[in-house]
Amino acid sequence: MNRRNVFFAVSLLLLIIFSLNSTAANAAPSELFGTSLIADIAEKVSPAVVAIESVQYVRARRRAGSGDPFLDQFFGHLFDDDFMGHNNVIPKRGNGSGVLISPDGHLLTNEHVIADADEIQVKLNNGKSFKATIIGKDTLTDLAVLKIEADNALPHIPIGDSSTMRVGEWVIAIGNPFGLGMTVTTGVISAINRDLSVDRNRSYKDLIQTDASINPGNSGGALINSRGELIGINTAIIPYGQGIGFAIPVNRAKRIVGDLMAYGKVKKAFLGVTVQRITPDLAKYFEIPEEGVLITDVAKDSSAEKARLAPGDVILEIDGKKIRNPSDFQEGIDDHRVGDKVSIKIFRKGKEGVAEVEFRENPAAKNPLGVAVSKITGELVRKYDLYVDEGCVITSVISGSAAERAGLRPGDVIHQANRTVTLDEKAFEAAMAQMAKEGRAVLRIIRGQTVNLLLVNAQ
């Protein structure tokens, strides 16, 4: 290749490189350029991200003994730590993060960060520490609201709109990993609407997945967008997947926080219907749409019954949101709070119509078991094919409740709870009050022709 050709090739290569750089600069968002943007955002919002230390006092009984087997058999208890003056209470400590969401000291964190805690200390990034009280917590969504008392207004993070976030957008994670102090990491949103099962009792839906580093202790920390707004609460990592973390979208957290601050618990909206997926065969046979969910049962005295929904109706939309399957249906319900009034589009006998519904609280949420029951009647005997005519039959079970974890289901008959015979709703309520006080109950369950005793812990 002669010198002229070499010069031409180099010039062409430089032109291509310049063109690509110019195109990238024009196409890329401005936040990628300028090294101070992340630092500016972190400096602005970090004062509202706190470190949380939880302490649980675990009693460790130790038998010292006298050294004489005969004496120990009768008087060994006198040599227990309690009587020897030793401290047999061991503090079990845990670390996490939290986000101040109001100037009066309300903060948001994960439920698992403060679960079973006897004491909670919150430390601001200026070094000040405060004792925190629990306003409310929800195991199902892994969220908790705490409160600290300060003399002055506290910094807090503005709330963003997580529904507008797109895959590939830059995010910033701020938290207290490994209890080392506030740490800032950056990355992008890798995916949205992720479902994650942590263990047998914990599964989460509609999470934000990010590659911003999230480590133990980051739980409860803030996921921030490029405008410095809170768009998620960091909640989980996959230990075997490097660079994969998850956050609860702030839009979902807002509804939960509203309930926790108002009631100390989450009041789940309840429509009062049982639905199923519509298969092509069902759609063809009943001449109904394939998209939507088919109502198979309507609970007595429910919002659905009041709105005159009936088995055979197809739910197409909830408040303008299309319902394609049972998962969409449940999400449509979970997006609302008790007391919300919504329009539900239904398909009935070849025509579309709209039903106006006001959501109520699920009656099953009013007891520690998480079930709704009814005194057995002839109608319920036929409906559930019961072999007994005395007791309270379960008519619904709340998702994630103590009853669901214990394997209970509609049609099971609760005949006895903690030695209290439950022949009607009043007796059942009395037994549930006792269960709430003691934290557990032994239930006598009749399923079909089988009778079992079941020990259930309160939710």
DSSP characters over 10-71 = HHHHHHHHHHHHHHHHHHS-GGGS-TTHHHHHHHHHGGGEEEEEEEEEEE---B---S-HHH
Residues 444 and 382 in one domain: yes
Which of 321, 339, 361 is the last residue in one of the domains?
Answer: 361
Residues 237 and 318 in one domain: no
CA dist., res. 131 & res. 127, Å (int): 13
**Residue 13: band (very low, low, confident or very high) from pLDDT cuts 50, 70, 90:** very low
Tell me, rounded to whole angstroms, the distance of Cα 127 from its chain centroid: 31
**Residue 212: band (very low, low, confident or very high) from pLDDT cuts 50, 70, 90:** confident
Residue 23 lies in a domain: no
Q: How many domains does the chain have?
A: 4
Residue 347: CATH number of its domain: 2.30.42.10
Residues 68 and 138 in one domain: yes
Average pLDDT over the chain, rounded to an integer = 82
Residue 32 lies in a domain: no
Residue 288 lies in a domain: yes
Looking at residue 65, what is its pLDDT? 52
How many Cβ atoms from other residues are within 10 Å of residue 220's Cβ?
32
Residues 141 and 215 in one domain: no
Which of 113, 147, 181 is the last residue in one of the domains?
Answer: 147
How confident is the model over 327-371, as pLDDT tens digits? 889 888 888 888 899 999 999 999 999 999 999 988 877 888 989
Residue with tokens 């004792």: 131
Residues 259 and 183 in one domain: yes
**Residue 21: band (very low, low, confident or very high) from pLDDT cuts 50, 70, 90:** very low
CA dist., res. 169 & res. 241, Å (int): 21
Looking at residue 134, what is its pLDDT? 92
Residues 335 and 278 in one domain: yes
CA gyration radius for the chain?
28
Residues 246 and 184 in one domain: yes
How confident is the model over 417-442, as pLDDT tens digits? 988 899 999 999 999 988 988 888 99
**Residue 269: band (very low, low, confident or very high) from pLDDT cuts 50, 70, 90:** confident
How confident is the model over 343-353, as pLDDT tens digits? 999 999 999 99
**Residue 264: band (very low, low, confident or very high) from pLDDT cuts 50, 70, 90:** confident
Residue 89 lies in a domain: yes
Looking at residue 352, what is its pLDDT? 95
The catalytic residue among 106, 112, 336, 415 is 112
Closest CA to 396 of 302, 261, 258: 302
Quick check: is 30 catalytic?
no
Residues 448 and 383 in one domain: yes
Range in 139-143, 174-178, 376-380, 389-393 the model is least confident about: 174-178
pLDDT at 33 over 90: no
pLDDT at 317 over 90: yes
Whole-Å CA distances, 69 to 82, 83, 412:
20, 19, 51
CA dist., res. 149 & res. 106, Å (int): 9
Residues 188 and 254 in one domain: yes
CA dist., res. 298 & res. 37, Å (int): 54
The catalytic residue among 219, 302, 303, 401 is 219
Quick check: is 195 catalytic?
no
Tell me, rounded to whole angstroms, the distance of Cα 355 from its chain centroid: 29
**Residue 15: band (very low, low, confident or very high) from pLDDT cuts 50, 70, 90:** very low
Residue 5 lies in a domain: no
Residue 106 lies in a domain: yes
Which of 304, 337, 361 is the last residue in one of the domains?
Answer: 361
pLDDT at 70 over 50: no
pTM over 0.75: no
Quick check: is 142 catalytic?
yes
Residue 393 lies in a domain: yes
Residue 12 lies in a domain: no
Residues 328 and 421 in one domain: no
Looking at residue 127, what is its pLDDT? 86
Residue 88: CATH number of its domain: 2.40.10.10
Looking at residue 247, what is its pLDDT? 92
Residues 288 and 314 in one domain: yes
The catalytic residue among 54, 106, 142, 211 is 142
Range of the domain at 86: 46-147
CA dist., res. 36 & res. 44, Å (int): 12
Residues 50 and 143 in one domain: yes
**Residue 397: band (very low, low, confident or very high) from pLDDT cuts 50, 70, 90:** confident
